[in-house]
């Protein structure tokens, strides 16, 4: 929050303003608020006081009151750039992203060299899925303020989001050069190095973050992913001590519970494992406010759109040829999609793009707009728009390969949109034992908010039922267009299954595909450790060890 602003000549003495700002800066928020509210009574048209009051209200969580204060400051002084910026930050927290953009743009129109407003604009543009514009905003902030470590960190986050992990590493490293004790950048650098398979370096980053901030719960969790715990590991008692605090945020408690579940899995303490795992999942489900009914509604809506095929669109698409040959690898999370992408993208002619999230973002507004008009069948132009926008995404990857994989598992929802918009696309559907898949989902934490079904055994089984129903629907609608690949068959007959999948994808044989574990590309999912190893068998049997604790899940899955 920006609190400084030139004082009105008729305003309060600078010493009193400095006193309030000092209270705020020292964390004495209520004292600062009480003082500034008293000053407002004496100086009711001083915009700076309302700006400070807004910052205080925001700090204590009274966001609506903060908004009113910033709006009052702007009403008194319309060219108050700092108040426009602070208003943008606050209404962004309320989810009013487009309004936040307008506030930041107003601040920048008034003060073009306002580095903080450029940085804040970048943050909200990323939330609006505009990474190119976000990068530009961060770079503007850095050009104005070359030592702006926070902007370098945020720039790294954006590069991570768009899959440019090696460039993200450089941004995080620059942030740490400028600010060596920047715990968030240490943690983020660790995440990026994990994705690149540089596990030892990643561990050092997480350990450094914890040294600087011993209660950094997320770093404890990230470190736990890499460790094989023994009973004497001092990190265990540290995490248990942190968890006993009543001051923990739900997010910190969740991270520590997932980490301690990993500890007890390593120590083979099943009761403790599931105590922590159930609590971690409960917290995550509550955070995401997931409802299986909403998934059912979404599934029903998509099926309604494709109640019958769109047979004539392919003729129109023939006039829109593309040099790209997209491959979509779909299925449930933890079904082997990452492994299969590693195999296919090891081919010399293929670029593995990882989990591109653009397709749902493109399809959502198009489908919603027509459904709101009561139109169940989409017009031809909608599919042409989906095609054009997604091909732009592939073009912006700036890679030499024409065959590009996208392994976002839940794209199985959009198979109808994919095959209608891209008749040339290849769909690889990963199948794995339902119990193995769901156990692996339940035990893992997903950074994405799109997997809300993962954190409750009944939700998970219910979503799995919807998934199997949906895949049967697509197979019926698009016969012979979807390639089903069995994870267990792949692990037992690696070369044979690899040859089959390459043939389906119309790729010639490449020996590199058998050595997928040596590939140096980034892996963004929780499978990043496993796919750096040679093919191994037996993971689909791991659930059996925990059968007694998974009864609700197994019972519900018994028909699959």
Q: What integer pLDDT is reported at residue 346 of this predicted model?
A: 93
Residue pair 66/39 in contact by the 8 Å Cβ criterion: no
C-alpha–C-alpha distance, residues 141 and 121, integer Å: 10
Q: Residue 348: its pLDDT value, please?
A: 94
Query: What is the model's pLDDT at position 456?
Result: 95
- The answer to whether 453 touches 463, Cβ cutoff 8 Å, is yes
* Own/partner long-range contacts of 140-147 (Cβ < 8 Å, ≥24 apart): 140/115, 141/115, 141/116, 142/115, 144/113, 144/114, 144/115, 144/118, 145/115, 147/178
What pLDDT was estimated at residue 531?
47
State the SS3 of 320-354: CCCCCEEEEEEECCCCCHHHHHHHHHCCCCEEECC
All structural domains of the chain: 1-111 (1.25.40.10), 314-557 (3.40.50.300)
Quote the pLDDT of residue 319: 63
Given a cut of 70, the residues of the chain with pLDDT beneath it are: 1-10, 318-320, 370-372, 374-375, 518-538, 559-560
CA gap 483, 505 in Å, rounded = 9
Structure confidence at residue 532 (pLDDT): 45
Name the helix (H) or strand (E) containing 420: helix 415-421
Condensed to tens digits (0 to 9), the pLDDT of residues 365-393 reads 888 876 667 667 888 889 999 999 999 99
pLDDT of residue 313: 79
Nearest to 272, CA basis, from 308, 243, 303: 243
The predicted structure's pLDDT at residue 317: 73
**Alpha carbon distance 395, 493 (integer Å):** 35
Distances in whole angstroms, Cα of residue 466 to Cα of each of 151, 302, 473: 42, 12, 10
């Amino acid at each position: 929050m920006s609190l400084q602003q030139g004082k009105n000549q008729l305003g309060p003495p600078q010493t009193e303003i400095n006193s309030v700002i000092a209270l705020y800066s020292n964390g004495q928020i209520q004292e600062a608020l009480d003082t500034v509210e008293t000053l407002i009574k004496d100086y009711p048209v001083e915009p700076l006081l309302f700006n400070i009051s807004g910052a205080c209200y925001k700090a204590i969580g009274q966001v609506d009151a903060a908004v009113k204060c910033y709006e009052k400051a702007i009403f008194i002084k319309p060219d108050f750039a700092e108040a426009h910026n602070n208003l943008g930050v606050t209404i962004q927290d309320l989810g009013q992203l487009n309004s936040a953009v307008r506030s930041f743009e107003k601040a920048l129109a008034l003060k073009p060299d306002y580095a903080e407003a450029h940085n804040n604009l970048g943050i909200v543009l990323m939330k609006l899925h505009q990474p190119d514009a976000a990068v530009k905003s961060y770079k503007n902030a850095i050009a104005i303020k070359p030592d702006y470590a926070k902007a370098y960190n945020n720039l790294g986050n954006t590069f991570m989001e768009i899959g440019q992990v090696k460039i993200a590493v450089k941004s995080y490293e620059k942030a740490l050069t400028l600010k060596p004790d920047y715990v968030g950048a240490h943690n983020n650098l660790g995440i990026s190095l994990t994705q690149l398979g540089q596990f030892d370096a990643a561990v050092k980053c997480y350990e450094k973050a914890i040294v600087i901030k011993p209660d950094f719960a997320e770093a404890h969790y990230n470190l736990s992913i890499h460790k094989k715990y023994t009973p004497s590991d001092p990190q265990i008692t540290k995490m248990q001590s942190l968890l006993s605090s009543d001051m923990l945020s739900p997010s910190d408690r969740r991270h520590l519970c997932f980490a301690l579940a990993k500890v007890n899995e390593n120590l083979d303490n099943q009761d403790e494992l599931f105590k922590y795992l159930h609590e971690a999942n409960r917290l995550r489900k509550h955070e995401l406010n997931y409802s299986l009914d909403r998934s059912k509604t979404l599934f029903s809506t998509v099926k309604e759109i494709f109640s019958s095929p769109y047979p004539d669109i392919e003729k129109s698409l023939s006039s829109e040829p593309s040099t790209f040959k997209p491959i979509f690898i779909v299925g449930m999370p933890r079904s082997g999609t990452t492994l299969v992408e590693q195999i296919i993208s090891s081919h010399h002619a293929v670029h593995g793009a990882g989990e591109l999230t653009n397709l749902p973002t493109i399809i959502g507004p198009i489908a919603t707009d027509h459904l709101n008009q009561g139109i169940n069948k989409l017009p031809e132009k909608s599919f042409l728009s989906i095609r054009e926008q997604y091909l732009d995404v592939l073009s912006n990857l700036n890679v030499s390969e024409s065959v590009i994989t996208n392994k976002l598992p839940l794209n199985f929802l959009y198979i109808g949109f994919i095959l209608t918009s891209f008749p040339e696309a290849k769909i690889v559907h990963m199948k794995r034992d339902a119990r193995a898949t769901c156990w692996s989902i339940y035990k893992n934490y997903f950074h994405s908010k799109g997997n809300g079904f993962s954190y409750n055994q009944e939700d998970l089984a219910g979503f799995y039922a919807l998934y199997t129903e949906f895949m049967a629907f697509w197979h019926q609608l698009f016969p012979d267009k979807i390639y089903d690949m069995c994870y267990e068959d792949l692990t037992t007959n690696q070369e044979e299954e690899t040859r089959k999948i390459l043939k389906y994808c119309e790729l010639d044989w490449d020996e590199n595909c058998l050595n997928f574990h040596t590939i140096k590309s980034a892996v963004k999912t929780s499978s990043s450790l496993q796919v750096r190893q040679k093919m191994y068998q037996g993971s689909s049997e791991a659930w059996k060890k925990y059968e007694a604790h998974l009864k609700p899940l197994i019972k519900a899955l018994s028909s699959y």
